[in-house]
Structure 1
């Protein structure tokens, strides 16, 4: 124990991150590819259009001619067959597959109808190659392909393209018969081959994660998709006979920019395994996960060192981005920890494959939906190591990427018109007015509930979300647990629908000019805290109300995840002993959060390092009780228990009446809800000197980790010195260990704050020290709950107050108020920073 704490004390930093240890011998967590049953499609319609005979492709896929029966094709005109001959083979691309050596040409509308035996997801693959025809120039053909409800291709034309083109769609079929209509626009329509094949239902999950608003779920089952890109990152092309679902995976090299930032790595596909739950070779074959791209220089310390893929997309559509990961680069678990960005917005923060898969070389994928207002062309996907030297190897990997276009509000995957001629922009504008009216009523109701706040709602610029990466964190303040569904029903592409989708409190909306005025145009003398996200300013609004304004730095990525977590936590927490979020500002690139101003700053400033009047013992007890009440509420009073994870004296703030409030929820985590598990397996974060040793060893976070940290704070309050002081002798460096040694000797009064001597009741101090000692138990199971700690602190206060009874007024005054400031040892705290808690440390 002593050695462990000594090691901690040698490193004086504010925050650390360690990959959690996992069970590497659990055979149930991952299975080899051969353990999964192959998928056999129940609906399997393969047509070689215009051919007179069947065609067999690799993988024993047989394409039947479509002119031998009228069961599937309904066409009033005369279809035209183009097939065979030297002309057809003039282009070398046709040799890639025999299905491109014939075509069916339609001069008027034609419909293929497919009987459905198994409702659910189906592939639609349409193959096009402009064969030379006697009477028609297929290179200039222009036509539309649609179903009863969905536009697949709108006025599609090859534009003299002489290459093979394959369009792949994934649709959720619920009808008994599925029509596929070809509609010429001025000339003719044609198709070389059609695949209409059942797809496994687990291929598309029920929900994906929205990139914006962050952490919201997006329903996928009501949408249709078109494959835009499918890349085998770091590996060669994968052909249809190498994928059980007949997909083609292209090399990623053409999309790397710059290419030299990454290097290829590959292993044998035989070693790839899949999670027993939620994983399957149907998601992606082992060949995809057996290759990857990693950082070309994994030891680089450049802050912006990353690998970037750029892909052109249509910015008017939403996209489903599927990212495939498999750790084939690490030698052991807990070495890889990195971030993923989409269009410079954080998509996955601190991706820890070891914690997710519990085994190396195990497949993992993540689905992320990007709405149209967040899309730019080219679409950019980046991977970058976590900027933390404590995090294993500085490396990042990606194994595969799939980009799917999603249908718009009128059911189109190509263009803005639906099958009934409805225009997407018209429907969005009509819905926007209704949503705005309903949303305004919701917002007004929220503000009435807040009571004292005057609300100023201002129209924001149309490009309010077309900005740098920082802006997307705000909306969870409003969004609660809302689930975003079909944009056919709700125009998610509109600003208003997102802004007013909440059922929770919004807080006051401040214009940027208001906050600019409140802070004297962001005057540097108003800065009361600085962190990785930006600066915190003291402001004055309504001529008399002081506020603390956290202004985000659009260029900063440090602290982004912690900042986002704080927003999500504070938006759903209200308690007298928790710092309150007042409101926000969101204009273009400027996003700010406004908090109540805590005029007396952090508790630490009143204990040591500043020439402030010393707190009386009664004040210290009341402050500790207030902080304990705040933590007790987090652990038990919220809908789901919350673990603060960074309890320390700088995160306990004091208002003008010295009422204590817990602050800085950037590292907080929701407690486990599983009845059989009372911990959360997560990377270790916290502050040295306060860190729970059991959490550090096992990487298992519980509410007892907060209890340990609070025990350190209690000794900090009693002894008036920092938790770690490297300027002291080695045996005194760590406060927790040093105080426990004196406590066991029964001589704790020798090391308490000298200003308390003669002003503290011995029984009150004994009860207080016992509470601190129990908090610092080696194992969490031996520590009390925050409720128990609170009871003991209140008892210590009662003992202190009882001891003052019966004394003379002069004795009580002397007993209650020490008269010399506590300056015990040098402090590492920044000066002139009464609100440093809001700067992520």
Structure 2
């Protein structure tokens, strides 16, 4: 059974922005009807027209009973009915009557099924001779939460007439009875025109660790109460409750766009919207996903701008921000990659909807929890292009919801709870029953433990922000668990007070935290039959999580040279990287003495296995080109995708993995380093893999992004020649693939050493362009090597040359069966074989671990690399 972690009470701090992925929305396989989603029948459906004498039917068809019908909902010492025959500008007849209280009053509802419930309160100060309701000041609460504090629906600040108001809440009712308490202030009254208490689907707020990204298991969100601040149908018209199964209203977004000239509205028929299997279409109707705002032409030379929405909020509370996406503008898959920003921070880098949903016009959404105080009472949401050659230069957003979260004393309005307790942090947002995220004292202790480092960060916040992308300052909901190591072999275990562990756990986006027992179950107790790979860090196991997700589980070997630093680096790097051609980190485990990383499963394994050493079907030339192009895109993103850039430092064919569609993804970031500023280098101990090391880096111990370019040049030659980068079993001049291949190219004999299976299937111009790219990558000096962007361009050109004129493989005549050798011929052949040096079969020459037949060349190679620590 999955172990759930108890969390510290939430104190949302400035700079807190925790990303939660709850999956996409909609009915399995369904495209939805015009109503937008499947039918939902609420277990509880109390609709009251307060103060009315007869039932009334709303324009959307919902029937409201009087608050005296069917059941005695109301308990009040002094109440008055008020009504008017008609009023202009009101959306429904619900606002023509009201129930007025001059003393405390309670509406009580017996619930059929506890759980999530909508509470909608309707207010309009109807004219009465007895009371001036524009002057009414009152509070509304449940037994657990304050909904309204000192609320007044009087004239506007400019003296404009009062208007109607709808206050919508989402409450997790855990008791069989839900009560609404109305409390007028002294010498005032309270009133209400209509009340809705309606069951809501459980999937509206996910509280399952299996669907949270990247923070892992938590049980915090169900402990909050929520109030709808904004619900916008981006790019489309207003959606009324009649077109939403859950009775929600979706307003137009035009009033919140910062620049309408930068935005263009697009729409399709709601019937084309698809919902991935296993998700809920109740999250939002298909009307929301059928419209969007995309980047407008704007008549500028370079479309390098963001589309921006500004939403004013109360900075005293935390907010759940839900963004809805559906690619209704692309004509083909894998053509749209864009960035998403919240409050000026990178929230999602390179969002690729087609990879996530596997189709166009498919609904998808992401949730964020943030404290708005950083924005000075405003939440800003932006979408914009990636600014790299990955497809269409565009971005879109289909829907936007902002829900206020209850604070530390369970209030949604004001700083006092129902028992009179006062919120301990104005910027916090924690339900009284919530167990989520990070406590203030815990964070303070973590920072205090770092002393001067904290001072340095606070003195230079801009530099710190430049060095860290969005995910690196996320506060995970399970940060109460902190068990990172202080040094190799020294573990803090489950220590919750270690300063180093707390800081790391609470300031970096670490991914989902897995209990060791979960991973034992997923891998059948790390069964040796589940091993799918072995590396310097340890074994990689095939695992199956409880929700059916297949994962790759990399478990550290205690005797490995690689340890805590690589473990932390891998998590830190992958937590702030998100790209179609980088392997995604799902989570980690550092329980007791374990270092375990959990990745998305790459069904076709390492690129190397499909080139040599394994009995797998050979790849075509086009497949090899596409894999190299994908890997180049991933490395190009590493080098340029953030303000500072990242150097991989261990580029090789075993670190390029292939998914079930043979899409290449770069993996293994344990040796990665932040790139230096332009024109600078990083002085560091040489690390990497023999045969791929940049000779300039080896000589000078100065690392630049051109070191990755050199290593990638060797990868290109492996793809072309299908042999290891280093094979000591070969003659001296052939041991090093990079040197050998370049010698053959200069002699014009490169075709003689390419993979024999490519013979007759490779376009000569395409091969020459490919080899030219590899040769440029292998230049002795980094300054002479191209950037990864230039390498990518050359590889794409090589693919175009191949597609333009793919050669037809020659038909090979059937070979005649060989004649049996005579006894004399057999003896002569045996004698010749004994006298000759051992020959290498293609399979033997290609096997990375085959050291048979080693010659003096192997000893010479070892002498050259003596004293160098490889990976």
Q: TM-score range by the shorter chain?
A: 0.5 to 0.7
SS in 1 for 2:228: strand
Alignment partner of 1:160 is 2:155: yes
Q: Name the counterpart of 2:775.
A: none
Q: Name the counterpart of 2:610.
A: none
Q: Name the counterpart of 2:119.
A: 124
Contact conserved, 2:59 with 2:92, CA < 8 A, in 1?
A: no
Contact conserved, 2:267 with 2:291, CA < 8 A, in 1?
A: yes
Q: Deviations over 1:491-510 (max 9, x none)?
A: xxxxxxx7x763324789xx
Q: Name the counterpart of 1:337.
A: 337
TM superposition shift of 1:473: 5.1
Q: Deviations over 1:744-800 (max 9, x none)?
A: 9x997557789999xxxxxxxxxxxxxx999x999xxxx99xxx84x557x79x865
Cα distance in 2 between the residues matched to 1:717 and 1:773: 23
Q: Deviations over 1:55-94 (max 9, x none)?
A: 00134311111145771000011x2222123xx52xx222
TM superposition shift of 1:314: 0.6
Q: Name the counterpart of 2:103.
A: 108
Q: Name the counterpart of 1:238.
A: 239
Q: How does 1:581-592 map to 2 (within 5 A)?
A: none
Alignment partner of 1:145 is 2:49: no
Q: Deviations over 1:165-209 (max 9, x none)?
A: 100000011111111011001311111111111111112211599
Q: Name the counterpart of 1:80.
A: 80
Q: Deviations over 1:316-351 (max 9, x none)?
A: 111111111111111121121111111011222211
Distance 1:335 1:142, change over 3 A: same
User: Given the alignment, which residue of 517, 537, 554 partners 1:633?
Assistant: 537
TM superposition shift of 1:219: 2.7
Distance 1:773 1:642, change over 3 A: farther
Q: Name the counterpart of 2:274.
A: 273
Contact conserved, 2:209 with 2:216, CA < 8 A, in 1?
A: no
Q: Name the counterpart of 1:316.
A: 316
Q: Name the counterpart of 1:549.
A: none
Cα distance in 1 between the residues matched to 2:424 and 2:312: 22
Q: Name the counterpart of 1:58.
A: 59
Cα distance in 2 between the residues matched to 1:467 and 1:741: 44
Q: Deviations over 1:292-311 (max 9, x none)?
A: 11110299674751100001
Alignment partner of 1:33 is 2:32: yes
TM superposition shift of 1:470: 4.7
Cα distance in 2 between the residues matched to 1:314 and 1:208: 29
SS in 2 for 1:354: helix
Distance 1:699 1:93, change over 3 A: farther
Q: Name the counterpart of 1:97.
A: 92
Cα distance in 2 between the residues matched to 1:438 and 1:694: 39
Q: Name the counterpart of 1:394.
A: 393
TM superposition shift of 1:641: 5.2
Cα distance in 1 between the residues matched to 2:419 and 2:195: 24
Cα distance in 2 between the residues matched to 1:213 and 1:673: 12
Q: How does 1:828-839 map to 2 (within 5 A)?
A: none
SS in 2 for 1:30: coil
TM superposition shift of 1:636: 3.5
SS in 1 for 2:127: coil
TM-score (norm. length: structure 2): 0.57
Q: Name the counterpart of 2:180.
A: 180
Cα distance in 2 between the residues matched to 1:299 and 1:678: 45
Report the more deviating stretch, 118-127 or 57-66.
57-66
Alignment partner of 1:504 is 2:484: yes
Contact conserved, 1:305 with 1:384, CA < 8 A, in 2?
A: yes
Unmatched 5+ residue regions in structure 1?
A: 1-26, 448-453, 485-497, 509-562, 573-628, 645-651, 654-660, 707-711, 758-771, 805-811, 820-841
Alignment partner of 1:195 is 2:196: yes
Contact conserved, 1:299 with 1:394, CA < 8 A, in 2?
A: no
Cα distance in 2 between the residues matched to 1:257 and 1:246: 29
Q: Deviations over 1:604-629 (max 9, x none)?
A: xxxxxxxxxxxxxxxxxxxxxxxxx9
Contact conserved, 1:346 with 1:469, CA < 8 A, in 2?
A: no
Contact conserved, 1:143 with 1:182, CA < 8 A, in 2?
A: yes
Report the more deviating stretch, 155-164 or 306-315.
155-164
Cα distance in 1 between the residues matched to 2:447 and 2:172: 36
TM superposition shift of 1:736: 3.7
Distance 1:466 1:741, change over 3 A: closer
Cα distance in 1 between the residues matched to 2:62 and 2:48: 11
Q: Name the counterpart of 1:380.
A: 380
Contact conserved, 2:111 with 2:176, CA < 8 A, in 1?
A: yes
Alignment partner of 1:483 is 2:484: no
Distance 1:503 1:436, change over 3 A: farther
Contact conserved, 2:207 with 2:218, CA < 8 A, in 1?
A: no
Q: Deviations over 1:13-59 (max 9, x none)?
A: xxxxxxxxxxxxxx997322259641011111111111111000134
Cα distance in 2 between the residues matched to 1:749 and 1:53: 99
SS in 2 for 1:257: coil
Cα distance in 2 between the residues matched to 1:137 and 1:467: 57
TM superposition shift of 1:414: 0.6
Contact conserved, 2:373 with 2:427, CA < 8 A, in 1?
A: no
Report the more deviating stretch, 420-429 or 399-408.
420-429
Report the more deviating stretch, 39-48 or 418-427.
418-427
Q: Name the counterpart of 1:370.
A: 370
Cα distance in 1 between the residues matched to 2:553 and 2:304: 33
Unmatched 5+ residue regions in structure 2?
A: 1-25, 157-161, 433-437, 489-506, 516-532, 544-550, 556-560, 563-569, 586-596, 608-626, 637-650, 670-687, 699-704, 741-753, 762-841, 867-871
**Cα RMSD over matched residues?**
5.8
Cα distance in 2 between the residues matched to 1:351 and 1:755: 36
Q: Name the counterpart of 1:760.
A: none
Report the more deviating stretch, 225-234 or 331-340.
331-340
Aligned length, in residue pairs: 597
TM-score (norm. length: structure 1): 0.59
TM superposition shift of 1:370: 1.1
SS in 1 for 2:536: helix
SS in 2 for 1:136: coil
Q: How does 1:342-361 map to 2 (within 5 A)?
A: 342-361=342-361
Contact conserved, 1:298 with 1:393, CA < 8 A, in 2?
A: no
TM superposition shift of 1:686: 3.6
Contact conserved, 2:142 with 2:181, CA < 8 A, in 1?
A: yes
Q: Name the counterpart of 1:406.
A: 405
Q: Name the counterpart of 1:204.
A: 205
Q: How does 1:238-317 map to 2 (within 5 A)?
A: 238-280=239-281, 282-297=282-297, 302=302, 304-317=304-317
Contact conserved, 2:457 with 2:464, CA < 8 A, in 1?
A: no
TM superposition shift of 1:362: 1.5
Cα distance in 2 between the residues matched to 1:56 and 1:151: 30
Q: Name the counterpart of 1:522.
A: none
Q: Name the counterpart of 1:419.
A: 418
Contact conserved, 2:238 with 2:249, CA < 8 A, in 1?
A: yes
Cα distance in 2 between the residues matched to 1:321 and 1:224: 14
Distance 1:299 1:50, change over 3 A: same
Distance 1:278 1:259, change over 3 A: same
SS in 2 for 1:63: strand
TM superposition shift of 1:259: 1.1
Q: How does 1:564-603 map to 2 (within 5 A)?
A: none
SS in 1 for 2:287: helix
Contact conserved, 1:719 with 1:751, CA < 8 A, in 2?
A: no
TM superposition shift of 1:159: 3.2
